[in-house]
Structure 1
């Protein structure tokens, strides 16, 4: 299979569909690490909770939500790099079920 170049910034905000065709959220953050001279994608963060991660405002955001009465936030998932099908970058799809993903649930 030939390598495909994808501009990561164009993936941000794209709706992700699970293996059953259900929308699970939008790509809000892409986590990578440097290995030698290359950067390797580790995971994608999807959903509302991932927005706080992208803005590096998780602690501040949770503190504000706590003051407003929220004690738990849900709405995000961690998707390992190999579980996201980017064959069509305009319509990313999961290779796995939603239940197999790690949730970004956080208690405050």
Structure 2
């Protein structure tokens, strides 16, 4: 398997389209794991909830939203590295539909 390097900072904020060409959201956060001396992408996060995680404002952001009356917050998805086609990094595309993605969701406890 050939490895490929893409500058991560160029992916952040890029609009992702699903396999049917519909907008799915923007890449807001990336989770990676160190393997030896390299970092390997595990998943990408898209959507509003992902922005809170990117800004490290997850806990306080959710508390504010709950205080304002939001009982269930759902506005984002987790994309595993296998589900994203980066052949053209300017136009990332899902290899699936939104229904196939894991939703980023949290509920008021």
TM-score by length of 2: 0.94
Q: Does 1:65 align with 2:65?
A: yes
Q: Give the match for residue 90 of structure 1.
A: 90
Quote the residue 1:39 is aligned against. Answer: 39
Distance 1:4 1:42 in 2: 14
- Structure 1: where are the runs of 5+ without partners? none
Instruction: Give unpaired runs (5+ residues) of structure 2.
Output: none
**Cα distance between partner residues in 2 of 1:72 and 1:64:** 13
Q: CA RMSD in A?
A: 1.2
- State yes or no: 1:22 paired with 2:19: no
Question: What is the match of residue 101 of structure 1?
Answer: 101
Distance 2:3 2:56 in 1: 32
CA distance in 2, matches of 1:75, 1:29: 14
User: Structure 2: how far apart are the matches of 1:66 and 1:5?
Assistant: 40
1:2, 1:50 → 2: CA distance? Answer: 29
TM-score normalized by structure 1?
0.95
For the residue of structure 2 that corresponds to 1:91, the secondary structure is coil
Q: CA deviation at 1:84?
A: 0.4
- DSSP 3-state at the match of 1:53: helix
Q: Work out the CA distance in 1 between the residues paired with 2:22 and 2:59.
A: 30
- In structure 2, C-alpha distance between the alignment counterparts of 1:5 and 1:80, rounded to whole Å: 17
Aligned residues between the structures: 108
